[in-house]
């Protein structure tokens, strides 16, 4: 299940407006319950579909192709996940006949409002009204006889196009077992594991799973669990040809989506099929810090989520066991987990499962929660007993009896705590980027000197939702101003007196069109990335009134909220004359540059580098937008997967680095500061070192990079000082 998006328009918006409004009204009145499912089955709401065409087909969804679906790819439908949502929505197998298909679709819709799904969205900050669902109907594989299953003619499993634990991008990880893939996905079996070199296809490492059981499809369509024959258990289940097919499939998926993928697959009679693919939501960079542990481990398994945990064992075979036993800091030991276990996983210091692989539910959720986890530890339930104190080394998949404190020290060497980083004084200021105002409470105590980039697009898209010109037309200007001011003030107040640089809105035309009422005011551009955006929008007659509302919101924060730590930044600046015009509009709205109110310019367009000495008179600081600067210096569409794969889009390119260095040199001659707020410093330490050597004044990074960037900058500056 994912969110299907077509040109950034929810493809099934009509379903949401009809079904979800009804659902939410009832849910708020009665509480989320099974009544939701009953309500869903009363009516079916469709988006852009006049009727359901009846098709004379009563078999399994096996060889049948749904008419018109071949057009989906041509029309640009793709999936986009911002969190894993693993196991949150219902998946149904072996659905037979049109009535059952319709019923199954409705059950999938209803699964949006189960207790675990609503809990997950609440934890992740997703609004229940804004979560869309599209139900995919696929061909059913594995309609074979029991004898064929027992001959190993059907296998299934999961793959990662990046090592999910170490983060190594040059490795593909495949997990495989006999029978339907549900047993692997849910962690009910210990699958075989294959680690493959992404470039060559060579198998680097294998792990033989126990594979004691498999799930097969019965004649009526239900799943049946049977035992795997003894002679098939302790040998690898995939053939060389199947491994080669999976290697090719994994490479093609990552090339297509331009991002590491977590995919499910099946092999029937030696032919591999793709079942689903989604982005990998959490993975780690490989880190090294060797510690010699003389004591032998009492148990081994597969490393699933890196870290070290020391705690008391609590063996829980059921949810009820977990409810009664688990306390904060315990190490949860169980057979396998499902989404219902998440509340108990959250309070555990570590997790061990006797079954499952690196792509099981326990593994995926542990990585997302940042909890050390070892899976597939076959004898865990026999060896580990309630009350035992153990040390869990989930970087290496090892479990030790007692406390091994050296391993905790190893983790400290690998990680930089915010408290430790805060003690490191640097000449270069470390700033933080922020997009969601409510997140400031979570990050306000990190060691940063200010917000180097506060995006207001989230406030507009999620809090306001309407196009500013549409609101002006309705006479609701003040509502727009108030909502913007509320979000900005939330951040500025939380970190006062540290400064907040608010970037004026930088939606492109295709993005503004998605706001309510937006289609009336936004043209369709061939290339919005370099079209009507940034300052060119603010000074245009079509948008000037809307820009003035943003100015009034800033003024309200500074004057009514008394938060004078708010500054502003102008994006996508092209010429000096447009900056003159926009500064005049700002002054008319009461925003004039001063000692306490600074104006920064985004350095994204090469013209600002060439003419930095001339632009300097209009601003107090420049902030390098490395993504757009790279795109425009090298003449690359940064969304082009072909060029990215060929190695063209690289912020480390000498031309891009020279542009940054030249900007810093010219700006400093005019006593204007320079910062950077693009992704480059978070991704490439060598760029950070280059910029520090060039004398950049500040570096603004995402929250998860603040502490490590401060440490890196400190070490670079120490080296430059000869320390």
Q: Is the pLDDT of residue 76 over 90?
A: no
Residues 350, 304, single domain; the answer is yes
Residues 398, 469, single domain; the answer is no
* pLDDT per residue as tens digits for the range 139-186: 777 678 888 889 989 999 999 999 887 778 899 999 999 998 887 876
Query: What mean pLDDT is predicted for residues 191-216?
Result: 91
* pLDDT per residue as tens digits for the range 99-124: 888 888 888 888 877 766 776 676 66
| Of 324, 304, 320, 293, nearest in space to 380 by CA | 304
Mean pLDDT of the chain: 82
Q: Which of 387, 414, 441 is the C-terminal boundary of a domain?
A: 414
Catalytic residue among 361, 373, 467, 619, which? Answer: 361
| Of 344, 308, 338, nearest in space to 326 by CA | 344
Does any domain span residue 706?
A: no
pLDDT confidence of residue 657: 96
Residues 262, 383, single domain; the answer is no
* pLDDT per residue as tens digits for the range 364-407: 778 766 789 998 888 999 999 999 999 999 888 899 999 987 77
pLDDT confidence of residue 383: 95
Q: Indicate the pairing of strand 398-401 with strand 389-393.
A: antiparallel
Residues 467, 586, single domain; the answer is yes
Percent share of the chain, pLDDT over 90: 47
**Residue 199 to residues 251, 255, 641: CA-CA distances in angstroms?**
9, 13, 18
Which domain CATH number covers 519? 3.20.20.60
pLDDT confidence of residue 642: 67
Burial of 662: CB neighbours in 10 Å, binned 0-12, 13-18, 19+:
middle
Contacts 24+ apart (CB under 8 A), 37-43: 37/106, 37/107, 37/110, 40/106, 40/107, 40/109, 40/110, 41/103, 41/106, 43/18
Catalytic residue among 316, 551, 619, 677, which? Answer: 677
Q: Pick from 48-57, 296-305, 691-700 the range whose average pLDDT is largest.
A: 691-700
Residues 398, 503, single domain; the answer is no
Does any domain span residue 700?
A: no
**Residue 674 to residues 620, 658, 660, 669, 692: CA-CA distances in angstroms?**
9, 15, 9, 12, 11
Q: Which of 249, 279, 309 is the C-terminal boundary of a domain?
A: 279
Of the two residues 627 and 14, the one the predictor is more confident about is 627
Alpha-helical regions (H) of 125-161: 146-150
Residues 16, 126, single domain; the answer is yes
Bridge partners for 203 per DSSP: 196
Query: What mean pLDDT is predicted for residues 547-553?
Result: 98
Residues 509, 478, single domain; the answer is yes
For helices 626-634 and 654-669, the axis angle rounded to 10 degrees is 120
In this structure, what token pair is assigned to residue 674? 């320079």
pLDDT confidence of residue 87: 54
Interatomic CA distance for residues 358 and 512, integer angstroms: 41
pLDDT confidence of residue 723: 54
* pLDDT per residue as tens digits for the range 580-622: 999 999 999 999 999 999 999 999 999 999 999 999 999 999 9
Alpha-helical regions (H) of 133-233: 146-150, 182-185, 230-233
Query: What mean pLDDT is predicted for residues 76-99?
Result: 57
| Of 476, 440, 467, nearest in space to 455 by CA | 440
How many other C-beta atoms lie within 10 A of the C-beta of residue 648?
16
pLDDT confidence of residue 19: 44
* pLDDT per residue as tens digits for the range 670-698: 999 999 997 678 667 889 999 999 999 99
Residues 176, 121, single domain; the answer is no
Of the two residues 637 and 296, the one the predictor is more confident about is 296
How many domains does the chain divide into? Answer: 4
Query: Of 160-164, 623-627, 704-708, where does mean pLDDT reach its minimum?
Result: 704-708
* pLDDT per residue as tens digits for the range 61-72: 433 333 333 333
The set of residues, in sequence order, having a beta carbon less than 8 Å from that of 217 and lying 6+ positions away, is 93, 94, 140, 142, 143, 144, 180, 223, 224
pLDDT confidence of residue 64: 38
* pLDDT per residue as tens digits for the range 515-545: 999 999 999 988 888 999 999 999 999 999 9
Does any domain span residue 540?
A: yes
361 is catalytic: yes
Alpha carbons within 13 A on the beta-carbon side of 160 = 27
Q: Which of 544, 567, 597 is the C-terminal boundary of a domain?
A: 597
Q: Is the pLDDT of residue 130 over 50?
A: yes
Q: Are 453 and 434 in contact (CB under 8 A)?
A: yes
In this structure, what token pair is assigned to residue 87? 């196991």
pLDDT confidence of residue 643: 72
pLDDT confidence of residue 683: 67
Does any domain span residue 285?
A: no
Q: Is the pLDDT of residue 34 over 80?
A: no
Residues 399, 537, single domain; the answer is no
Residues 47, 125, single domain; the answer is yes
Q: Is the pLDDT of residue 316 over 50?
A: yes
Does any domain span residue 482?
A: yes
Backbone angles phi, psi at 600, to 5 degrees: -110, 155
Does any domain span residue 678?
A: no
Residues 262, 122, single domain; the answer is no
Of the two residues 32 and 257, the one the predictor is more confident about is 257
Query: What mean pLDDT is predicted for residues 3-22?
Result: 37
Residues 163, 118, single domain; the answer is no
Q: Is the pLDDT of residue 50 over 50?
A: no
* pLDDT per residue as tens digits for the range 432-480: 998 889 889 988 999 999 999 999 988 998 899 999 999 999 999 999 9
How do the residues of the chain divide into helix, strand and coil, expressed in percent and rounded to 5?
A: 40, 20, 40
Does any domain span residue 692?
A: no
Q: Are 684 and 633 in contact (CB under 8 A)?
A: no
* pLDDT per residue as tens digits for the range 234-280: 899 999 999 999 999 999 999 998 888 989 999 999 999 998 888 87
Of the two residues 644 and 685, the one the predictor is more confident about is 685
Query: What mean pLDDT is predicted for residues 200-217?
Result: 89
pTM equals 0.49
* pLDDT per residue as tens digits for the range 481-501: 999 999 999 999 999 999 999
Model confidence band, residue 8 (pLDDT cutoffs 50, 70, 90): very low
User: How would you write 317-361 as a 3-class SS string?
Assistant: CCHHHHHHHCCCCCEEEECCCCHHHHHHHHHCCEEEECCCCCCCH
Does any domain span residue 427?
A: no
Percent share of the chain, pLDDT over 70: 80
Which domain CATH number covers 320? 3.50.30.10
Quote the domain boundaries for residue 229: 146-279
Which domain CATH number covers 194? 3.30.470.20
Phi/psi zone of residue 438: left (φ > 0), alpha (ψ -120 to 50 degrees), beta? alpha
């Amino acid at each position: 299940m994912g969110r299907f998006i077509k040109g950034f328009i929810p493809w099934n918006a009509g379903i949401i407006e009809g079904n979800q409004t009804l659902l939410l009204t009832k849910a708020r009145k009665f509480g989320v319950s099974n009544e939701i499912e009953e309500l869903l089955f009363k009516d079916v709401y469709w988006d852009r579909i006049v009727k359901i065409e009846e098709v004379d087909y009563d078999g399994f969804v096996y060889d049948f192709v749904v008419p018109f679906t071949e057009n989906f790819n041509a029309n640009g439908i793709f999936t986009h996940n911002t969190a894993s949502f693993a196991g949150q929505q219902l998946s149904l197998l072996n659905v037979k006949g049109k009535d059952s298909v319709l019923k199954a679709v409705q059950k999938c819709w209803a699964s949006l409002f189960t207790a675990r799904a609503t809990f997950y969205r609440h934890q992740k900050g997703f609004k229940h009204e804004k979560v869309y669902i599209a139900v995919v109907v696929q061909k059913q594989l594995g309609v074979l006889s029991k004898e064929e299953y027992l001959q190993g003619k059907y296998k299934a499993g999961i793959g990662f196009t990046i090592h999910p634990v170490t983060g190594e991008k040059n490795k593909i990880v495949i997990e495989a077992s006999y029978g339907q893939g549900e047993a692997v996905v849910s962690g009910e079996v210990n699958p075989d594991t294959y680690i493959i070199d992404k470039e060559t296809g060579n198998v680097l490492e294998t792990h033989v799973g126990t594979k004691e059981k498999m799930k097969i499809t019965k004649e009526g369509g239900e799943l049946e669990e049977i035992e795997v024959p003894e002679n098939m258990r302790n040998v690898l289940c995939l053939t060389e040809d199947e491994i080669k097919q999976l290697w090719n499939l994994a490479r093609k998926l990552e090339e297509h989506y331009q991002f590491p993928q977590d995919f499910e697959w099946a092999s029937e009679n030696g032919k591999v099929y793709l079942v689903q693919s989604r982005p990998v939501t959490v993975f780690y960079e490989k880190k090294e810090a060797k510690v010699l542990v003389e004591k032998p481990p009492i148990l081994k398994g597969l490393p699933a989520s890196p870290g070290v945990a020391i705690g008391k064992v609590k063996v829980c075979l059921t949810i009820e066991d977990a409810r009664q036993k688990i306390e904060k800091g315990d190490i949860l030991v169980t057979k396998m987990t499902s989404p219902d276990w998440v509340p108990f996983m959250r309070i555990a210091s570590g997790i061990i499962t006797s079954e499952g692989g690196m792509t099981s539910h326990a593994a995926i959720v542990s990585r997302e929660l940042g909890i050390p986890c070892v899976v597939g530890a076959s004898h865990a339930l026999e060896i580990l007993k309630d009350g035992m104190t153990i040390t869990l080394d989930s970087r290496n998949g090892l479990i030790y009896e007692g406390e091994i404190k050296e391993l905790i020290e190893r983790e400290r060497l690998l990680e930089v705590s915010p408290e430790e980083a805060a003690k490191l004084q640097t000449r270069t200021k470390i700033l933080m980027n922020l997009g969601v105002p409510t997140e400031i409470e979570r990050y306000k105590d990190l060691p940063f000197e200010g917000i180097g980039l506060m995006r207001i697009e989230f406030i507009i898209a999620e809090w306001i939702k309407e196009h500013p010109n549409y609101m002006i037309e309705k006479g609701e200007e003040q509502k727009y101003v108030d909502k913007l001011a509320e979000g900005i003030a939330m951040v500025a107040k939380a970190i006062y007196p540290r400064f907040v640089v608010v970037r004026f809105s930088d939606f492109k035309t295709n993005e503004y069109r998605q706001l309510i009422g937006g289609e009336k005011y936004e043209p369709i551009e061939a290339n919005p990335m370099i079209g009507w955006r940034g300052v060119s929008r603010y000074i245009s007659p079509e948008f000037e009134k809307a820009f003035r509302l943003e100015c009034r919101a800033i003024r309200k924060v500074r004057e009514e909220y008394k938060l004078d730590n708010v500054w502003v930044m102008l994006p996508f600046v092209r010429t000096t004359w447009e900056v003159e015009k926009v500064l005049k509009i700002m002054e008319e709205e009461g925003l004039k540059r001063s000692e306490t109110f600074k104006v920064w310019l985004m350095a994204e367009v090469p013209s600002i580098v060439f003419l930095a000495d001339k632009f300097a008179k209009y601003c107090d600081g420049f902030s390098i937008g490395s993504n757009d600067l790279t795109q425009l210096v090298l003449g690359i569409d940064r969304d082009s997967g072909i060029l990215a794969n060929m190695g063209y889009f690289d912020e480390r390119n000498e031309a891009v680095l020279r542009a940054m260095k030249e900007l810093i040199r010219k700006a400093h001659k005019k006593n204007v500061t320079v910062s950077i707020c693009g992704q480059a410093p978070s991704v490439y330490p060598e760029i950070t070192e280059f910029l520090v050597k060039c004398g950049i004044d500040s570096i603004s990074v995402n929250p998860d990079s603040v502490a490590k960037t401060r440490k890196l900058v400190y070490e670079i500056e120490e080296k430059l000082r000869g320390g």
